[in-house]
């Protein structure tokens, strides 16, 4: 009997994003199973040059995905893709999903398709949600990707509800909530001697509300504030900042998981997060502040004094948070930073 082959439609590797880690980790984890692993990449160097404020490059990503899909089509053409094989899309916003489904069905090849959802136009705070004006086409595309996939992976219940409610999806039988493969983060992030440092670890983009952080700098001169993206895009330097920080701050309006807050936890930095979005289901109450404190800059202004008092109390009480940080770290690693469930499903274990 032929061994199953898993075709990994890899995300483009961006040094400043976790995609560079997934390029190594996903094939490594799949190789632990009794399957053949074939990774399909694009060939464009510019794929690693990110559009300002975004997660990837909006032009280069399409060249990357088209090149991948062409390679996949050749494998179908040459009948190298067999019944029982699996095609995994680490980013489910991939037009190649429709082409893979088209080829599999019209060529009568019983191949499984799965994809991981990160964001989309169904989220009004996402880049796509804000930039795409006529969402008739994007909502239809997202529904098509969803229904073409045999398994739809999501990191949080918040994200599942956001997508299915917005797109009117009632059949959730193909949905699996599973962690993401962030094994490299667990291996590489560390904690060192702490100083009175507060980090803004996110992309500097509108939905992250960086103006709130900038205003806090003026009111809390006793602490050091750093926008990580302004001082480095090097992972090692970023991890060094995390290791020294006592706090990572968020006023995010868009978050379906939140890698940077988890990175903070791994480095023993206290995450100070609004009680909304995916944060509400993922974090202990001690790390959450009332959502209305930062729902907008005006709302922040109205609640500024109490937020400042909360930051001061948390910073000055850092040692009291240590045990809570360790418990939260264990929970995040188990539920969100590792993805055995996903790999088991892909490899039919």
Percent residues over pLDDT 70 in the chain: 96
Q: How many residues does the chain have?
A: 349
Residues 63, 194 within the same domain: no
Query: Average pLDDT, whole number, for the chain?
Result: 94
Domain that holds residue 55: 5-184+337-346
pLDDT digits (tens, 9 = 90+) for 261-315: 999 999 999 999 999 999 999 999 999 999 999 999 999 999 999 999 999 999 9
Whole-model pTM: value is: 0.93
Helix (H) / strand (E) element for 151: namely strand 151-154
Confidence tier at 212 by pLDDT (50, 70, 90): very high
Residues 214, 292 within the same domain: yes
According to the model, what pLDDT value does residue 53 have?
Answer: 47
The Cβ of residue 151 has, within 10 Å, a number of other Cβ atoms equal to: 19
63 backbone dihedrals φ, ψ, rounded to 5°: -65, -45
Higher pLDDT, 16 or 171: 171
Among 3-17, 63-77, 229-243, the minimum mean pLDDT is found in: 3-17
Q: Which two tokens stand for residue 78?
A: 């040459």
What residues pair up with 115 in beta bridges, in sequence order? 89, 152
Residues 160, 248 within the same domain: no
pLDDT digits (tens, 9 = 90+) for 60-95: 899 999 999 999 999 999 999 999 999 999 999 999
Residue 145 scores a pLDDT above 60: yes
Q: In what order do the strands lie in the sheet with 175-177?
A: 36-40, 5-9, 86-89, 112-116, 151-154, 175-177
pLDDT digits (tens, 9 = 90+) for 159-199: 999 999 999 999 999 999 999 999 999 999 999 999 999 99
Confidence tier at 132 by pLDDT (50, 70, 90): very high
According to the model, what pLDDT value does residue 13 have?
Answer: 84
Residues 155, 50 within the same domain: yes
Residues 25, 130 within the same domain: yes
CA atoms of 221 and 243, how far apart (whole Å): 21
Q: Which CATH number is 143's domain given?
A: 3.40.50.2000
Q: Which residues contact 48 (CB under 8 A, 6 or more apart)?
A: 12, 13, 14, 15, 57
CA atoms of 255 and 119, how far apart (whole Å): 9
Confidence tier at 57 by pLDDT (50, 70, 90): confident
Report the half-sphere exposure of 38 (CA within 13 A, side-chain side).
15
CA atoms of 316 and 263, how far apart (whole Å): 21
Residues 198, 175 within the same domain: no
Confidence tier at 19 by pLDDT (50, 70, 90): confident
Residues 161, 230 within the same domain: no
Residues 162, 230 within the same domain: no
176 backbone dihedrals φ, ψ, rounded to 5°: -130, 125
SS3 of 34-73: the string is CCEEEEECCCCHHHHCCCCCCCCCCCHHHHHHHHHHHHHH
Label residues 45-54 b or e (16+ Cβ within 10 Å = b): eebbebeeee
CA atoms of 180 and 159, how far apart (whole Å): 14
Residue 205 scores a pLDDT above 50: yes
According to the model, what pLDDT value does residue 349 have?
Answer: 85
Confidence tier at 15 by pLDDT (50, 70, 90): confident
Residues 191, 165 within the same domain: no
Confidence tier at 46 by pLDDT (50, 70, 90): low
Residue 98 scores a pLDDT above 80: yes
Confidence tier at 2 by pLDDT (50, 70, 90): confident
The domain total for the chain is: 2
CA atoms of 252 and 202, how far apart (whole Å): 9
CB of 322 within 8 A of CB of 268? Answer: yes
Mean pLDDT across 87-113: 98
Residues 238, 108 within the same domain: no
Residues 329, 208 within the same domain: yes
Q: Which residues contact 179 (CB under 8 A, 6 or more apart)?
A: 155, 334, 335, 336, 337, 338, 339, 341, 342
Among 207, 98, 90, CA closest to 155: 90
Residues 66, 206 within the same domain: no
């Amino acid at each position: 009997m032929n061994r199953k082959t898993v075709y990994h439609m890899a995300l483009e590797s961006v040094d400043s994003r976790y995609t560079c880690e997934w390029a190594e980790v996903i094939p490594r984890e799949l190789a632990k199973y009794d399957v053949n692993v074939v990774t399909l990449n694009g060939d464009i160097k510019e794929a690693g040059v990110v559009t300002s404020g975004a997660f990837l490059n909006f032009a280069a990503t399409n060249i990357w995905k088209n090149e991948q899909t062409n390679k996949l089509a050749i494998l179908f053409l040459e009948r190298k893709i067999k019944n029982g094989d699996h095609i995994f899309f680490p980013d489910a916003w991939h037009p190649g999903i429709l082409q893979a489904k088209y080829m599999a069905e019209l060529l009568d090849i019983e191949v499984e398709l799965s994809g991981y959802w990160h964001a989309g136009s169904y989220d009004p705070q996402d880049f796509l949600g804000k930039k795409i004006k006529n969402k008739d086409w994007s909502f239809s595309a997202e529904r098509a990707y969803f229904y073409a996939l045999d398994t739809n992976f999501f990191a949080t219940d918040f994200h599942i509800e956001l997508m299915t409610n917005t797109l009117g999806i009632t059949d959730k039988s193909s949905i699996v909530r599973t962690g993401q493969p962030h094994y490299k983060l667990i291996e590489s992030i560390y904690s060192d001697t702490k100083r009175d440092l507060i980090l803004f670890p996110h992309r500097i983009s509108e939905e992250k509300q960086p103006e709130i952080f900038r205003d806090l700098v003026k009111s809390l001169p006793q602490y050091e504030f750093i926008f990580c993206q302004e001082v480095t895009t090097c992972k090692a330097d970023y991890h060094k900042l995390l290791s020294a920080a006592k706090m990572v701050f968020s006023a995010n309006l868009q978050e379906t998981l939140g890698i940077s807050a988890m990175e903070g936890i791994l480095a023993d930095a206290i995450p100070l997060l609004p009680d909304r979005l995916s944060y509400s289901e993922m974090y202990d109450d001690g790390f959450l502040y009332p959502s209305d404190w930062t729902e907008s800059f005006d709302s922040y202004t109205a609640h500024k004094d109490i937020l400042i008092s909360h930051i001061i109390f948390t910073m000055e009480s850092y040692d009291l948070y240590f045990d809570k940080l360790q418990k939260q770290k264990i929970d995040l690693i188990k539920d969100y930073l590792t993805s055995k469930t996903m790999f088991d499903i892909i490899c039919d274990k």
